[in-house]
């Protein structure tokens, strides 16, 4: 997702360019499996400091369910807004001092910006800690591993061992 911003860096503050994003077969992260093209929009605006880029992407990820381990497809709509700062002076080509902003991205010395890393981070943030194939996924039986979405298994309900130890102590009349 590379964009050449050389002309925009020479333009007055407030000038903006808009691009449609369409990427086939782009993998964002080794832990993410993108199974659709990535479609979206980018607006790149000249600011005092550099560039402000905002927009959105639509993509579909292949995830596995935290509870039942089933593979499922998760469509995502992710918005982003990021600052990019120049690393070289657009007129002289000389290196500029490093930017202090922690979450800003560099415009490289060929005046290219790459949205891939910004979008990768946004997609990771958009994912819940627990990914479920559906809201009420019943998960797997902890004893036999049966997929409880397909119906109950023959296992007896689990006994809470901490509770049964306490119960035994109380029956014996001894202090725990």
114 and 2 Cβ atoms separated by less than 8 Å: yes
Stretch that binds Zn ion, among 17-25, 35-43, 61-69, 98-106 (CB under 5 A): 61-69
In the bound state with Zn ion, the residue whose beta carbon lies nearer, of 29 and 70, is 70
Residue 69 vs 81, nearer CB to Zn ion? 69
Query: Could you tell me what percentage of the chain is helix, strand and coil, using 3-state DSSP and rounding each to the nearest 5?
Result: 20, 35, 45
The dihedral through the CA atoms of 5, 90, 116, 77 has a sign that is negative
Q: Which of 95, 153, 165, 166 binds Zn ion (CB under 5 A)?
A: 153
- For position 68 contacting Zn ion by CB under 5 A, the verdict is yes
Taking residue 41's Cβ as centre, other Cβ atoms within 10 Å add up to 14
Asked whether the beta carbons of 37 and 54 are under 8 A apart, the reply is no
Does 140 help bind Zn ion (rule: CB under 5 A)? no
Q: Is 155 in the site for Zn ion (CB under 5 A)?
A: yes
Using a 10 angstrom Cβ sphere, with 0-12 exposed, 13-18 middle and 19 or more buried, the burial of residue 115 is buried
Q: Does 35 bind Zn ion (CB under 5 A)?
A: no
Number of residues that bind Zn ion (CB under 5 A): 12
Task: Say whether residue 146 binds Zn ion (CB under 5 A).
Answer: yes
Does 133 bind Zn ion (CB under 5 A)? Our answer is yes
- Copy the structure tokens of residue 135: 């809201």
- 74 makes contact with Zn ion (CB under 5 A): no
Q: Which residues of the shown chain bind Zn ion in the complex (CB under 5 A)?
A: 65, 67-68, 70, 133, 137, 141, 143-144, 146, 153, 155
């Amino acid at each position: 997702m590379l964009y050449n911003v050389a002309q925009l860096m020479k333009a007055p503050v407030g000038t903006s360019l808009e691009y449609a994003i369409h990427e086939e077969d782009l993998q964002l992260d080794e832990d993410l499996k993108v199974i659709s093209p990535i479609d979206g929009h980018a607006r790149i605006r000249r600011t005092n400091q550099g560039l402000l880029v905002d927009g959105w992407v639509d993509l579909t990820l292949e995830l596995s369910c935290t509870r039942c381990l089933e593979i499922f497809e998760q469509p995502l709509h992710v918005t982003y807004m990021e600052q990019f700062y120049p690393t070289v002076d657009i007129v002289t080509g000389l290196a500029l001092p490093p930017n202090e902003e922690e979450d800003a991205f560099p415009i490289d010395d060929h005046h290219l910006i790459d949205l891939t890393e910004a979008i990768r981070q946004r997609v990771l943030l958009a994912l819940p800690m627990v990914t479920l194939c559906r809201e009420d996924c019943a998960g797997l039986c902890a004893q036999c591993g049966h997929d409880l979405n397909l119906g109950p298994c023959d296992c007896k309900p689990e006994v809470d061992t901490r509770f049964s130890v306490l119960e035994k102590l109380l029956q014996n009349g001894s202090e725990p």
